[in-house]
Structure formats: C-alpha cells, structure tokens
Amino acid sequence: MSKERGRTVEMSEIMVPQMANLLGNVHGGWLLGFLDRTAYVCGARYCGLNLVTLSVDQVFFKEPIYVGELLTCYATVNYVGKTSMEIGIRVTTENLKTGQIRHTNTCYITMVAIGDDQKPIPIPALTLRNEDEKRRFQEALIRRQMRLALYKDKDPS
Amino acid sequence: MSKERGRTVEMSEIMVPQMANLLGNVHGGWLLGFLDRTAYVCGARYCGLNLVTLSVDQVFFKEPIYVGELLTCYATVNYVGKTSMEIGIRVTTENLKTGQIRHTNTCYITMVAIGDDQKPIPIPALTLRNEDEKRRFQEALIRRQMRLALYKDKDPS
Amino acid sequence: MSKERGRTVEMSEIMVPQMANLLGNVHGGWLLGFLDRTAYVCGARYCGLNLVTLSVDQVFFKEPIYVGELLTCYATVNYVGKTSMEIGIRVTTENLKTGQIRHTNTCYITMVAIGDDQKPIPIPALTLRNEDEKRRFQEALIRRQMRLALYKDKDPS
Amino acid sequence: MSKERGRTVEMSEIMVPQMANLLGNVHGGWLLGFLDRTAYVCGARYCGLNLVTLSVDQVFFKEPIYVGELLTCYATVNYVGKTSMEIGIRVTTENLKTGQIRHTNTCYITMVAIGDDQKPIPIPALTLRNEDEKRRFQEALIRRQMRLALYKDKDPS
Amino acid sequence: MSKERGRTVEMSEIMVPQMANLLGNVHGGWLLGFLDRTAYVCGARYCGLNLVTLSVDQVFFKEPIYVGELLTCYATVNYVGKTSMEIGIRVTTENLKTGQIRHTNTCYITMVAIGDDQKPIPIPALTLRNEDEKRRFQEALIRRQMRLALYKDKDPS
Amino acid sequence: MSKERGRTVEMSEIMVPQMANLLGNVHGGWLLGFLDRTAYVCGARYCGLNLVTLSVDQVFFKEPIYVGELLTCYATVNYVGKTSMEIGIRVTTENLKTGQIRHTNTCYITMVAIGDDQKPIPIPALTLRNEDEKRRFQEALIRRQMRLALYKDKDPS
C-alpha cells in the first residue's frame, strides 16, 4: 500500500520593517504574495505536479498585521476537481512579546496542475477521511459554483 | 473654483526573470502586490489621504504573463462611500517584440481612508460626470452588497 | 498600410522607504536604475529589438525626491541613427497629499539594438511628423556630436 | 498558574531561483541568514525579549539544497543561561515532486537578551520536563564550554 | 598634528544572475546605482559629512559586464569646491576563471555636503600632495565648467 | 614563467537601514551571507574553479555593526588541501563620520572545488612564500583537525 502524501502545510515568517506601509503595518500586497506561495507549496506537496494560480477568492484584511509579529499560514487542500484544486489558508499572527495570537485572514486559492506542454493535467482525487474533510469539500464545491458564476460576469468594460 | 483632483492612474512595469515562477511565467503573487500598489496610488491621488487595503475581490488569472512583456495597470475610482472607496483595475500586457496587447485580468480593490488616530475618516464624495461614470458607480454598488454578504459568511473553521 | 508602433512610454512608481538614503530622500542611484529601465521600454516599444544601454548623458539631481511621492518618467524616442537611438526622459513627482507636481530631472539615454550574435543591427528610421519632432531630432543630433567628442577624451588615467 | 510559552518553532520556505548559486544550488549564505532568523523567532517566542545573535556554531553544508525544494527549519531552545540561550536548528528539505525528505544540516545559535539600554538582561530559566530536554541541556552545556575556550583563542592576526 | 583622512575607496561585488538583463549581461541601471554608492562612500570617508548626489557625468558603457565576474570600483576625490566635491571612479572587471582584467567604464560624480537643516555646508579643502593629484584637480575644474554650462542649457521642453 | 594568481580579496559595503534588525544594528544573518560571498570570491580568484561552501566555522558577533558604517572584509587563502581550501576573513567597520575603525569579527570558511559533474576536483597547491603564510597554514591545519573531529559528532537527534 502506497504512503499517502501530505495535504496541509504551515508556513511562518517574521514581519520586518521592509514589509510595512507608511502607517507602519504590513502591506496587503506583501501578504497576498505570501498567501500565493503558501498555496503553491500546499498543493505541490499533495500532488507533486507543476501548479499555477487560477484564482484568488476575495481577501478581507480584517485586522492590521504589525512589524515584529510572527505571521503563520495554515493551508489545507479542501477540494480536488479534475485538473484544479482549492486550497484554504488560515492566517494568524503571534505577538512575540506577549504571546497573543490573532486570526487575521482566511482565503481560498484555486490552482491548476500543468504538464510539460503547459496544458492542464489530472490531479489525483482527494479521499475524504472524516466529517471535517467532507464538510470542507462541500463548502468548497459551493464556492466553486459561485466562482464559475462570477467569472462569466467578470469581463470588464 | 477649485481644481478637481485626478481619479485614474496608469502604472507600467517591465516583466523581468526575477518575477517568474518555475514555468517561466510571472507569479500570481507578484501581480497581486502590484495591483495593491496601483490601487493605493489611484485612491491617494483622488483623496490625498492615508489609505489601507480593506479587501481584494476575486482575481482570475485568465492568461499567463510572460517575462519580457510590459505590464500596464489602468486604475479608476469607481465608487466612494463614507470612508471607503472601490478602485477598478484593468491589466494588459504588451509584447514589446510584436506590439501585441492582451487583456489579462481585471480586479476590484476596496480601500479605507485612515486618520492620524488610525481610525477611518470621510472621503470626499465622487461627482458622477457622465453615463460611463454612473454605470461604474452602479456596478460597484452591487459588488459592495455582494462583499458585505460574503463577509458575514467568511469566518472560517 | 502597416500600423505605426509607439514611440513614447510613461512609467510611474510610488516612492517607498526602501528607496531612501540616510536623509530620507530617494537615492540618486535608485533613480538612475529606473531611468535606464524606462529608456529600455520606450526604445523596445518603438523597434521591437533587443537593446543595450550605450550611454547615459549627464544627470543633474535638481531637487530631492521624497518618500510617499509618485515618480513619473515620460520617455520619447528623439533620434534614431543606424543602430542606435536617443531616448529623452522627463521626470516629475506628484505629492499625493497636495496634488502638487514638480519637474525634478531630465536626461538622455542612448541605446543600441543587438542581434542574436550580440552585434549591433539596424533600427527602422524615425519619421518626423511635426515641428516638435523635428526640433527634438535636431537637438539630439547636437548632443550626439558632443558625446562623440567627449568619448574620445574619456579614457581615464 | 500561568500558561507556559512555546520553546520550539518550525519555519519553511520554498527554494526559488533567486537563492541559487552559479551551480543551481541554494547559496550557503542564504541558508545562514534563514537559520539566524529562525533562531531569533524561536528564542523570542520563548522569552518575549529583544534578542541579538552572539554566535553561530560551525555549520557543515553536508548536502546541496536544490531550487524547487521546501526547506524546513525546526528550532528548539536547548539551554538557557543567565542572559543567553542556545537554540538548536535541524534543517530538512522536501522534494515536492517525490515527497522525499533529506536532513541537510544541524546548527546551534546563541542569542543574548537585550534591554532598552542595549545591555544584557536576564532570561527566564528553562524548566526541563523530560529526559530528552535534560539530554539537550547537558549537550548544550558542553558546547558552551567549547565556545568559551574557542573564543579566547579566536582573536586573529 | 591631526591624522589625515582617506580620499580613496575600493569597492567590489560579484556579478550574479539577478543583475542581468535579457541578454545575460549586467544591467546598466544596476551599475549606475553601484557607482553612486561608491561615490558616497569615497566622499563621506574624506569629509565625514552627510552627502547627496548633485550630478552624474555622462557614463559610457564601453563593454559588457558578465555574470560571474568580479566588478571593482576605484574611487578618488579629485576636486573639492566650497560645498561640493567631484569623485572619479574607475571600473574594472575580473574574470575569476581566467584572471583577465578589463577596464569597462570611468565616470565622475559630484556630491554636495548637507547640514542638519538640509542646506549645503563647507567641505574641508583638498591638499594637493603630488603632480598626479594636481593634474586630477585641474581636469576636474575643466569638467566643472562644462557642467555649469550644460546645466544652464538643460531645462527641457 | 606563469603569473601567479591573487590569494586575497577585500570587499566593502555600506550598511543601510534595510540590513538592520529591530534594535537598529546590522543582522547577523546579513553578515553571514556577506562572509560567504567574500570567501567565494577569494577562493575563485585563487584557483579559477567553481566552488561551493563546505563549512563555516563558529562566528562570534563580538560587537554590533551600525547602519551608516562601512563594512570591510579582508579574505586570505590560508590553506589548500586536495580538493578543499580554508579562507580566513577579518571583518572591520569604519565609522564614516569619525574615521574610527573597529575589528568586529573573524571567521574561517572552507570551500570545495567542483567539476562539471558536480564532483570535487583538485585545487592547485598553495606555495608558502614567507613566515606569515607558513604560520597561517599551520593554524589552518589545526582547525581542520578540529572540524573533522566535530563533524563526526555532529549528527543530531
């Protein structure tokens, strides 16, 4: 029986002044890049294939992230379709002086597996091992339908 | 009569190898950071206030962006509420060898004006000067309602 | 009739603390790099060829550029010789709080088109469509003669 | 009873081409910087104080680290003295295509807690909760004595 | 008798792929930034004051600089006026495989000393200790007159 | 008679705010990367071969390094074995305001020459031309024996 591959990843980074905006908080733009990198690692660990980002769902910057904090992204493969997968990422920050942890963001990123000819290729199906995984999968299916609906509307003037 | 401030901005950047993923295309994460910076400039030019990013609507990466291309973001203030504003960004790339231009993405970013006490402050109302501006405003209002609905749902397990 | 290619470009960038010297103003060295990138884009858009920088004319840093300002470079192809071209760049900054715009620099960069064998190759001749373009071309010819004179003198001890 | 603070941290980073040397492997210099950052986070999480690096023990680069791999550092507080602490870091890489994990390095970094007057300040003593922690502490004590001996010899011609 | 301060500096850097343009050679823009940094260090070592760049004389990129080479800038204070100074920089590259050294560029940078009120302040006069220093001073005086003449002409349309 | 290749190098860099930690001093991690780069240049200048870092001996951060200082690394090839070499690096900083120079660190880095098949290849033997070079060689031999002893012990739990 083959060993199952991981479907989660945890990535942390210390917030330094180079990441701050003029108000002294971490740039939304920096965080978006880190989310994308985390989703890539999570998806690649699961399937071992080349991946490109297809979409990033709406991101709300609920709370500021401060210089000096430790940012941690917990990513999970929620859903796998034929050639794409949804990765959910929960972002927390830890104040290293006080130990206080805050949940600052959550977002969903869809990635596509790409073959050597730069065309989409199949991703191994996701086995659902417990109730939590089944719930995540169902919720991801609903988001997928919303995305497809939005996408048709999206072309701008 | 006071001179009206600008409500658009155009920002361009040449795509270099340092922005590429392992497939040789520009990282989604890099683009997200550039979109955020463009929205900041567009909004700050309009109101002259400190701004922070509140949300980035779903971004679809419709087409790859290649190293060597010139990426251009055209941003417009679509909507101004009491303390927040929506900025729409249309992204195109230009192949500098052939002159061919492609429309690769469109996205909407919401920013909030922040005072010296880090609390939201009012943004001057947007005068709607023609049919196009009225249409953009109406469409932004609909997106705003979708965002508020999504936001309530959003808190993750 | 073939569509004519562009001969100008506008590139903007928001000035962030990472670009500042110890006095809090933007480094001359950073600006020089941005001028070079802008000239490359302007020239490549005109001719669609690989370009390398041959010379940068004297640059005067007339006025400081401050963190928080929007820097904009307007570049134009002034002159095209057999294998080289002069690009003129006008630099302005915009204070995003007040809307005030200052002209801070102007400079001229000469680029050479390079073929696959790394040797210079011809650039399509520049059609002069109006009085302004003719004046720019004549002024560029004078600078070209000064450059050739300077270059002979230049070898240092 | 107060909640105990963490004494470990795990930090991961995806290896990108920008970290590679001319042979295509990750620079030793880049890794040394990442080790230092990891030790800082681990130590700061334990004590909540400002820390500076006092020494990095000999680092052996046993095996190359390749672009595309996921590098993970597991750090632990091994030893706490009056104002300094030793952090041990175990480095592994994961090939995201095959899932293969290699142990590439281990190293020990000593950090000092610094007060507002930039002078060393006390660090809370480390409780040793099991045999593994006692063994780590004893081994760290021996390394500490070697360091003190080396340090006296160290001043170079 | 007070110890005299240095008036030269040598700065070296290894050329890495991140500095290359699409042809694989080092960007002119990167070199311009390094020249500016070298001039700053040379001038600050001489006078111990805050300095800003006033102008960079014409730079000719006589020869390509390749990835893998060691670039070295030798800078000298050639001339000191009341509040400004000219620094000459000779650039060479060393092929680390063959040991071959090429002289690739020379340029002249003018810097101004700045006080706490951001206004120009006096720089200690330069003692000319030998024939070589006298020649450099005389040549710099001629370049200074050319600069003043150019500067008046310079304001662009 | 063939010209002998260099066996030393001097590399300098101005310390800028981007290199600082939260206390305003230069990161140990940044310095470690610079030491590694300096060792590479010194070794490659001596032998003209591809080199990778095998080990970095214990580094003590004796004194803080401040933003605004000029850091200089003097590197020398101390010892050459069959396929590896030890490079010693002496680090000083110069306060550009006062001219004061401090010796802040010394360290020893071992590099291995690598052929096109990524396997170690011979390095030309080091001729010892005077008493100082003989002393350095002897001291390096002792460090080499300590390293071999440490290495055997090193594999961590």
Judge E/A contact: 3 or more CB pairs < 8 A: no
Q: How many residues does chain B have?
A: 157
Closest Cβ opposite residue D68 in set B18, B20, B22: B22
Confidence tier at F35 by pLDDT (50, 70, 90): very high
From the CA of C103, how many Å to the nearest CA of chain E?
10
* Most confident range, picked from A134-143, B139-148, E16-25: A134-143
Region C102-128 average pLDDT: 95
Check if A18 contacts C (Cβ < 8 Å).
yes
Which residue from B18, B67, B68 is facing E18, i.e. has the nearest CB?
B18
Mean of the pLDDT values across residues B89-101?
96
Reduce the DSSP state of residue C36 to 3 states and report it: helix
Q: Does residue B100 have a pLDDT over 80?
A: yes
Q: Is C68 on the interface with A (CB under 8 A)?
A: yes
> What is the band of D156 on the pLDDT scale with cuts at 50, 70, 90?
very low
Q: Could you tell me which residue, B22 or C14, shows the higher pLDDT?
A: C14
What percent of chain B lies above the pLDDT cut of 70?
Answer: 93
Band the pLDDT of F1: cuts 50, 70, 90.
Answer: very low
d(CA F74, CA F7): 11
Cβ density class A138-152: b for 16+ within 10 Å, e for less? ebbeebbeebeebee
Q: Give pLDDT, residue D153.
A: 56
Looking up tokens 């801070």 gives C104
- F9 contacts E99? CB cut-off 8 A: no
Residue A20: strand pairing partners = A26
Cα–Cα distance list, C78 to A86, B124, C33, C57, E37 (Å): 51, 41, 20, 14, 30
Is F137 within 8 Å of chain D by CB? no
E6-34 average pLDDT score? 88
Using a CB–CB cutoff of 8 Å, tell me whether B68 touches chain E. yes
CB proximity B29 to C under 8 Å? no
Query: Are E and B touching by the rule of 3+ CB pairs within 8 Å?
Result: yes
What residues in D contact A14, CB-CB < 8 Å? 37, 40-41
Judged by CB atoms closer than 8 Å, whether chains meet at C68 and A18 is answered as no
Q: E157 pLDDT band (50/70/90 cuts)?
A: very low
Whole-angstrom Cα distance, residue D43 to residue D48?
Answer: 8
**Section B135-145 average pLDDT:** 95
Q: What is the pLDDT of residues C35-46, one digit of tens each?
A: 999 999 999 999
Q: Are F109 and F34 in contact (CB under 8 A)?
A: no
Give the C-alpha separation, B101 to F95, whole Å: 52
CB A111 within 8 A of CB A40: yes
Helix (H, G, I), strand (E, B) or coil at D1: coil
Q: Would strands D101-114 and E70-80 be described as parallel, antiparallel, or unpaired?
A: unpaired
pLDDT at B121 over 60: yes
In whole numbers, what is the pLDDT of chain E averaged over residues?
Answer: 90
Asked if A32 lies within 8 A of B147 by C-beta distance, the reply is: no
Average pLDDT, integer, range A87-113? 96
CA distance C137 to chain A (A): 39
> What average pLDDT score do residues C7-31 get?
87
For the beta carbon of residue D119, count every other beta carbon within 10 angstroms. Answer: 10
pLDDT for F23: 74
| CB-based contact C96 B48, cutoff 8 Å | yes
Alpha-carbon distance E99 to nearest alpha carbon in chain F (angstroms): 7
Q: Is E41 on the interface with F (CB under 8 A)?
A: yes
Query: For residue E21, what are its two tokens?
Result: 């343009």
d(CA F46, CA F40): 10
- Which residues in chain C are contacts of F17 at CB distance < 8 A? 17, 20, 22
Domain residues of chain B, as ranges? 8-151
CB B30 within 8 A of CB A56: no
B in contact with F (at least 3 C-beta pairs within 8 A): no
Q: Confirm or reject contact between E133 and chain F (CB < 8 A).
A: no
Is any Cβ of chain B less than 8 angstroms from the Cβ of D18?
yes
D24 in reach of chain B (CB within 8 A): no
- What is the mean pLDDT of the segment spanning C102-130? 95
Question: What's the sign of the alpha-carbon dihedral D119, A20, D73, D106?
Answer: negative
d(CA C17, CA A23): 12
* Cβ-contact B114, B50 below 8 angstroms: yes
Neighbours of chain F (3+ CB pairs under 8 A): A, C, D, E
Q: Does B97 touch chain E (CB under 8 A)?
A: no
Please tell me whether residue C143 adopts helix, strand or coil conformation: helix
Distance separating alpha carbons of residues E41 and F69, to the nearest angstrom: 9
Token pair listed for E67: 């990835």
- How many residues are recorded in chain E? 157
What's the pTM?
Answer: 0.90
Residue E1 has pLDDT above 50, yes or no: no
Q: Which residues of B touch E20 (CB under 8 A)?
A: 17
Please tell me the least confidently modeled range out of A152-156, C140-144, E101-105: A152-156
pLDDT computed for residue C19 by the predictor: 86
- B37 and B56 Cβ atoms separated by less than 8 Å: no
What is the nearest CA distance from D62 to chain A, expressed in angstroms? 24
Cβ contact, residue pair B36, A55, below 8 Å:
no
How far apart, in whole angstroms, are the C-alpha atoms of residue C35 and residue E15? 21
What residues form DSSP beta bridges with F25?
Answer: F66
Residue E48, pLDDT above cutoff 90: yes
Does B116 contact A at CB distance below 8 Å?
no
DSSP string, E73-123: EEEEEEEE-SSEEEEEEEEEEE-TTT--EEEEEEEEEEEEEE-TTSSB---
- For position D107, what pLDDT does the model report? 94
Nearest-Cα distance to chain A for F17, in Å, is: 9
Partner-chain contact B11 C9, CB within 8 Å? no
Q: What is the number of alpha carbons within 13 Å of residue E24 lying toward its C-beta?
A: 6
Tell whether the model's pLDDT for residue B154 goes beyond 70.
no
Name the token pair of B108.
């909407």
pLDDT at position C38 is 96
Distance from CA of E1 to the nearest CA of C (A): 32
What is the predicted pLDDT for the residue at B157? 35
- Cβ separation E68–D18 shorter than 8 A: no
Q: What are phi and psi of E11, to 5 degrees?
A: -130, 135
Average pLDDT over residues A135-141: 96
Between C83-97, D64-78, D142-156, F136-150, the lowest mean confidence (pLDDT) is in D142-156
Q: Which residues in chain C are contacts of A18 at CB distance < 8 A?
A: 18
Under CATH, which architecture does the F8-151 domain have? Roll (3.10)
pLDDT at B147: 87
Which run of H or E residues covers position D70? strand D70-80
To 5 degrees, how large is the angle CA E87–CA E89–CA E90? Answer: 155
Q: Write down the mean pLDDT value for chain D.
A: 90
Q: Which residue of B has its CA nearest to C49?
A: B97
Other chains touching B, judged by 3 or more CB pairs under 8 Å: A, C, D, E
**According to the model, what pLDDT value does residue D146 have?**
85
pLDDT of F84-129, one tens digit each?
999 999 999 999 999 999 999 999 999 999 998 889 999 999 999 9
Facing D14 at nearest CB: one of A12, A37, A94: A37
Both tokens assigned to E119: 């206004």
- Mapped onto helix, strand or coil, the DSSP state of residue B75 is strand
**DSSP of A29-89, one letter per residue?**
HHHHHHHHHHHHHHHHHHH-SEEEEEEE--EE--S--BTTPEEEEEEEEEEE-SSEEEEEE
Q: What is the mean pLDDT of residues F58-69?
A: 91
Q: pLDDT tens across A62-80, in order?
A: 889 999 999 999 999 999 9
- Note whether B41 contacts A: Cβ–Cβ < 8 A: no
Share of chain C above pLDDT 70, in %: 93
In chain F, the percentage of residues whose pLDDT exceeds 90 is 75
- The stretch B25-31 carries a mean pLDDT of 89
pLDDT digits (tens, 9 = 90+) for B9-21: 999 999 988 888 7
Alpha-carbon distance D32 to D38, whole Å?
A: 10
Instruction: Chain A: give the shortest CA distance to residue F18, in Å.
Output: 7
* Over residues C15-26, mean pLDDT: 82
F6, E9 contact by CB (below 8 A): no
Question: Phi and psi for B41 in degrees, rounded to 5?
Answer: -65, -45
- Which among A17, A20, A22 is the nearest to C68, CB-wise? A22
Chain E residues with CB under 8 Å of C64 CB are: 52
Task: Give the residue from chain C lying closest to A18, CA to CA.
Answer: C18
Crossing angle of the two packed helices D28-47 and F28-47, in degrees rounded to 10: 160
Using a CB–CB cutoff of 8 Å, tell me whether D22 touches chain E.
Answer: yes
pLDDT digits (tens, 9 = 90+) for D39-52: 999 999 999 999 99
**How far does Cα A105 stand from its chain's mean position?**
11
Confidence of residue A85 (pLDDT cuts 50, 70, 90): very high
Q: Quick one: pLDDT band at residue A34, thresholds 50, 70, 90?
A: very high
Euclidean distance between CA atoms B22 and F14, whole angstroms: 33
Q: What is the pLDDT of residue F3?
A: 60
What's the ipTM?
A: 0.89
Going D33 to D39 to D44 to D49, the CA torsion angle's sign is: negative
Instruction: Collect all residues of chain F within an 8 Å Cβ-Cβ radius of residue C18.
Output: 18
Of E18, E67, E68, the CB nearest to D18: E18
Per DSSP, what are the bridge partners of residue C20? C26
pLDDT category of residue A157 using cuts at 50, 70 and 90: very low
